[in-house]
Every structure is written in structure tokens, then in C-alpha cells.
Amino acid sequence: MELKIFILFMLIVSCGKKELNSIVIPADEATDAEKEILFKALDRIQDEFDGIGVSVNLRSIPYHVATLDSSLAGYCAYRADGSPIGIAINHSVFNYWGSETELHYGPIYKVLLHEIGHCFFGRDHDQEMFSVPGHELGLQLLAGHPEEIRSELELSAMKDYAEPFTAKALWPYYIKEIAGQDRITSLADLRRYVEVTLVP
């Protein structure tokens, strides 16, 4: 069952970036519970940007929860001049909020940060991955927990068809990367955020 959920979100954490001015934000259908989850995540992201000196007002546009195409987690609607109209989030993103753990943020964080990247920072999709040829990466996300083994790591929250969960240890990196303040290019760069061992 866990594998099926993971595969579903590998497909759904994608966004519908369209041609300029070709889409509008749908009517908001958020439940009170969804609003609470969404704005808790949004406020945390705002605090993170504030903490690194990035001047952006994330509440300057509306965030609507709606039933979108099943392949979409969300999208940024924007005008012909590139200014944002608002962000739409698929109801389905909230179905797995409970999957947030002490090690990972749930899907709403990844989806919001991705769409904020489009709307506020003009970011395009970024499929680049970090890896060490001939090795897997053993990430020590939190003391006392087993290493999380990965063959490669997303270099940006702007990856389309991305992993649904975000390691909390790497969250500060993804915030900085979206804002253009950092980019991992080496193992030393990665080790500034998380303890890493190379697994043969």
C-alpha cells in the first residue's frame, strides 16, 4: 500500500505551468481543515524567506483549493506581464497530510514551494539531479534514525513529477535555492545541510 501511495504522488506532484495568460485561478473550494493546513505551511515558508532576508509577500495573491486534473498537484496562474494572479492547489494534495513525519514535510510544502517558485521568482521547471557516480548517498536526516539511501537528489523544488516529501534537514536548502541564494554542485555543498556517507 505504501508503494502505491508513493507512486501516486510521484505522478501527482507536478504542476500545470501553461502559456502566459492562458489559465485562470479556479473558485476556492477549500474546507476549513484544508485552509488551516495550507496557511500553516504558507506561513512557515514566509518565515523561512524572512529569515534569509528575501523580501516577498506570499499573501499578496490568493491560494485556492479546487478539484484539478488528476495529473496536477497545482499551478500558478499569471498575467501576460508575468505577474501572478494566484495559486491553485488540488484537493488530493491534502489527502496525505498525515504522512508528514519528524523527518519529512508532507506534500503540501513541496507543492506550495514549487508554485511559489513559478509565481514569485519566475522559475521554470528544473529537472537536474545531484549524484555521485558509482555510489549511492546515505543521508543522516536526524540523529538516531537510519540513513536514508538515495541514488540521486533533486537539486530544486522546481522539479516536475517530483518526490512528494521533503526532508526537513534539506528544507533550508530548497528555500534558498528557490530564491537563487544557493545551489548544490558538490558533495561538500550537500554536507553543509546534512551528514552524508557514500554507499558503494
Pair 74, 108: CB distance under 8 Å: no
Q: What percent of the chain shows pLDDT beyond 90?
A: 76
Looking at residue 97, its pLDDT comes to 72
Quick one: cell of 22?
Answer: 492562458
Which residues, 6+ apart, have CB-to-CB distance to 195 below 8 Å?
139, 140
Strands of the sheet containing 63-66, edge to edge, are: 63-66, 84-90, 74-78
User: Once rounded to an integer, what is the mean pLDDT over residues 136-148?
Assistant: 95
Provide the pLDDT confidence category of residue 193 given band limits of 50, 70 and 90: very high
- Output the pTM of the full model: 0.89
Q: Which amino acid is at 161?
A: Y
Looking at residue 15, its pLDDT comes to 73
Coil, strand or helix: which one is 98?
A: helix
Quick one: cell of 33?
Answer: 481543515
User: What's the pLDDT tens digit per position in 4-52?
Assistant: 333 334 434 567 554 444 568 899 999 999 999 999 999 999 999 999 9
The conformation of residue 28, written as its DSSP 8-state character, comes to P
